[in-house]
């Protein structure tokens, strides 16, 4: 019988990509979510809550492997404990390994940048749980171009607005490839206990991304760098209903996040050796752009967890 892989946060875009890649690879798939989704077809579906440890053990029961991506909008103060609870549940259920998609790079130490420190504490909690673990740290998602904070501007104004330096080189990666990477680590036990940084097969600056968008959309797309603070204000304005009060804290945290990344550039990930090790050909942005629907700005993605 095929191995059973359980996917947490299955209804979010990273989770949906993981479900599809697992089905394609021939695994049995269990989708864990608090809501149903048409994309769960062909999967076993179970309910679980990251604040309910007993439900996590039940969701993991019988699983060979667990794929985990933290929900986009979760209480930051609670998210490390939630990650630890899932790790303990997976260990109790006898899962062979948990593969965690961090959705973003983070340093291996506390830095004082709140978003970075939260990611570090999540991974630390998973390690401390004792579950066999592989950590996958992606660079930056191509799928961000489909979000509420990017796609409408591209289609209405012909502008890519982002807080990156104009010369910042980024190894953009699509969510489908992140899913394929996670699944590839299942079959190779040498990834147990490892943290791997992954990106796409090419490095692109914002103007180069705009050139590819211009080619795909058939009209000029220009880059407009906004400040990290403006970006945080924009995100808070779009998601205030789920973020709740505390606008200044959220905006300040996002400002620090992007100032830090502009200065350190963790988005640049050499992938030649890792592609060979994984046996995967990563997707160039031109190919990914060609597969997306650019005709409708009314249904942009809310979040891709990164």
Going along the chain from its start, the domains and CATH numbers come out as: 4-141+173-199+267-282 (3.40.50.720)
| Predicted local confidence at residue 306, as pLDDT | 41
Higher pLDDT, residue 271 or 241: 271
Residues 143-166 have a mean pLDDT of: 95
| Predicted local confidence at residue 305, as pLDDT | 53
What are residue 233's phi and psi, to 5 degrees? -65, -40
Q: Against a cut of 0.85, is the pTM above it? A: yes
| Predicted local confidence at residue 298, as pLDDT | 77
Residues 88-107 have a mean pLDDT of: 95
| Predicted local confidence at residue 271, as pLDDT | 93
Query: Is residue 3 scored above 90 in pLDDT?
Result: yes
Query: Is residue 73 scored above 80 in pLDDT?
Result: no
| Predicted local confidence at residue 219, as pLDDT | 97
Closest CA to 240 of 10, 76, 232, 154: 232
Give me 93's structure tokens. 């259920």
Mean of all residue pLDDT scores within the chain: 93
Rounded Cα–Cα distance for residues 275 and 173 (Å)? 13
Higher pLDDT, residue 230 or 78: 230
Higher pLDDT, residue 279 or 1: 279
| Predicted local confidence at residue 107, as pLDDT | 87
Share of the chain above pLDDT 90, in %: 82
Q: Do 69 and 86 form a contact (C-beta atoms < 8 A)?
A: no
Task: Tell me which DSSP letter residue 298 carries.
Answer: S
| Predicted local confidence at residue 2, as pLDDT | 84
User: Within 13 A of 253's CA, how many CA atoms are on the CB side?
Assistant: 14
Closest CA to 144 of 200, 74, 220, 201: 200
Q: Which residues of 60-69 are buried (b: 16+ CB within 10 A; e: fewer)?
A: bbebbbbbbb
Rounded Cα–Cα distance for residues 200 and 237 (Å)? 30
Query: Is residue 32 scored above 50 in pLDDT?
Result: yes
Q: How confident is the model at residue 203 (pLDDT cuts 50, 70, 90)?
A: very high
Give the pLDDT confidence of 284-306 residue by residue, as tens digits: 999 999 999 999 877 787 676 54
Closest CA to 145 of 198, 201, 197, 214: 214
| Predicted local confidence at residue 183, as pLDDT | 96
């Amino acid at each position: 019988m095929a191995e059973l892989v359980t996917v947490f946060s299955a209804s979010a875009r990273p989770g949906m990509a993981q479900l599809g890649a697992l089905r394609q690879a021939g695994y049995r798939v269990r989708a864990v979510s608090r809501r149903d989704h048409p994309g769960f077809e062909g999967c076993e579906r179970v309910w679980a809550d990251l604040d309910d440890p007993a439900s996590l053990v039940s969701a993991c029961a019988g699983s060979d492997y667990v794929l985990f991506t933290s929900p986009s909008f979760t209480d930051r103060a609670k998210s490390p404990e939630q990650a630890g609870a899932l790790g303990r549940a997976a260990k109790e259920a006898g899962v062979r390994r948990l593969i965690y998609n961090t959705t973003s790079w983070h340093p291996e130490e506390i830095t004082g940048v709140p978003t970075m420190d939260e990611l570090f504490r999540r991974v630390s909690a998973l390690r401390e749980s004792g579950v066999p673990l592989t950590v996958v740290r992606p660079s930056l998602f191509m799928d961000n171009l489909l979000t509420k904070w990017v796609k409408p501007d591209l289609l209405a104004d012909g502008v890519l607005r982002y807080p990156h330096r104009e010369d910042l080189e980024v190894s953009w990666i699509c969510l489908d490839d992140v899913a394929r990477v996670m699944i590839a680590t299942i079959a190779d036990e040498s990834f147990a206990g490892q943290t791997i940084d992954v990106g796409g097969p090419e490095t692109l600056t914002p103007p180069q991304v705009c050139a590819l968008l211009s080619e795909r959309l058939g009209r000029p797309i220009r880059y407009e760098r906004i400040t990290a603070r403006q970006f945080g204000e924009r995100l808070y304005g779009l998601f205030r209903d789920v973020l709740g009060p505390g606008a200044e804290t959220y905006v300040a945290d996002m400002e620090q996040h992007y100032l830090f990344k502009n200065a350190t550039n963790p988005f640049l990930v050499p992938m030649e050796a890792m592609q060979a090790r994984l046996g995967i050909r990563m997707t160039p942005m031109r190919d990914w752009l060609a597969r997306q629907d650019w005709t409708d700005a009314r249904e942009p993605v809310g979040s891709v967890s990164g």
